[in-house]
Amino acid sequence: MINYFKMKKAEWKIKSTVYGTIAALIDNQKDILNLLQKMYIALKDVPVEDLQKGLVTKLAEIIHTQSKDMAE
Number of domains observed in the structure of the chain: 1
Cα separation, 49 vs 23, in Å, equals 38
Q: Summarize pLDDT for 12-53 with one digit per residue, the tens.
A: 999 999 999 999 988 888 888 898 899 888 888 888 888 888
Cα separation, 26 vs 22, in Å, equals 6
pTM of the model: 0.44
User: What range defines the domain where residue 63 resides?
Assistant: 2-71
Cα separation, 51 vs 54, in Å, equals 5
Strands (E), the chain: none
Query: What is the band of 7 on the pLDDT scale with cuts at 50, 70, 90?
Result: very high
Who wins on pLDDT, 70 or 33? 33
pLDDT value at 72 more than 80: no
Query: What is the band of 9 on the pLDDT scale with cuts at 50, 70, 90?
Result: very high
